[in-house]
Amino acid sequence: MTAGAAGLREMRWWDIAPVLELEHDLFPEDAWSPGMFWSELAHARGPFATRRYLVAEQDGRIVGYGGLAAIDGTGDIQTIAIARDQWGTGLGGRLLAELLGAATDFECREVLLEVRVDNARAQRLYERFGFEPIGFRRGYYQPGNVDALVMRLTTQTSSEAPSVQGT
Ligand SMILES: CC(C)(COP(=O)(O)OP(=O)(O)OC[C@H]1O[C@@H](n2cnc3c(N)ncnc32)[C@H](O)[C@@H]1OP(=O)(O)O)[C@@H](O)C(=O)NCCC(=O)NCCS
């Protein structure tokens, strides 16, 4: 029997535990705490929601997650991660496309993100979607004092175009 393709859906509080397992595997030095995920999800529902958090689920297992914050027309990719055994299958791209769709829904004019300067794989993914480097944040990642590359995707609001460019 072949495994089914991963499906994307809204992240809920009961996903926090399996998401944290991935988080600690993929970001061992600066993993988010449970409280950070709880706080993000607290802003993800209702008429004044400013967050969109998604998980990728395959055969009952959480294999990826990502989140976008949208404040005053600016989106921010807060986090995106895929289980190692799923890298290179296109799942990161699907998740990012969905988050950019959320940015369109929030009528964001631009989407920003920070990525470690040594994370070439993630940078390639973002470039593929049209993100461009705009600067550095020195020593952004602690411990380790690693710089962040800040990248930006300029988008169009829904009144100007039907969807975010770059997909
Ligand atoms: C960065 C990350 C999210 C990318 O996820 P991913 O699922 O591997 O991304 P994709 O599969 O969409 O793209 C990766 C590569 O697979 C290729 N690919 C895309 N679709 C594919 C498919 N259907 N079949 C085979 N390969 C495919 C892409 O062309 C891309 O190739 P490239 O490396 O030459 O650019 C993932 O590596 C990860 O979780 N890393 C650790 C956490 C992290 O660094 N997060 C980012 C923090 S800023």
- In this predicted model, what pLDDT tens digit does every residue of 24-58 receive, in sequence order? 999 999 999 999 999 999 999 999 999 999 999 99
Partners of residue 67 on adjacent β-strands: 53, 79
* CA–centroid distance for 109 within its chain: 17
Domain that holds residue 34: 7-114
The atom of ligand 1 lying closest to the CA of 113 is 48
User: Ligand 1 center to residue 51 CA distance, Å?
Assistant: 23
In the chain, how many domains are there?
1
Q: Is residue 38 part of a domain?
A: yes
Give the span between the Cα atoms of 19 and 123, in whole angstroms: 22
87 lines ligand 1 (CB under 6 A): yes
pTM above 0.85, yes or no: yes
Report the CATH number that the domain containing residue 59 is assigned in CATH.
Answer: 3.40.630.30
153 lines ligand 1 (CB under 6 A): no
81 lines ligand 1 (CB under 6 A): yes
* pLDDT on residue 1: 44
Q: Is residue 126 part of a domain?
A: no
Buried b (16+ CB within 10 A) or exposed e, 122-151: bbebbeebbbeeeeeeeebbeeeebebbbb
Residue with tokens 């990012």: 96
Tokens of 46: 């209702």
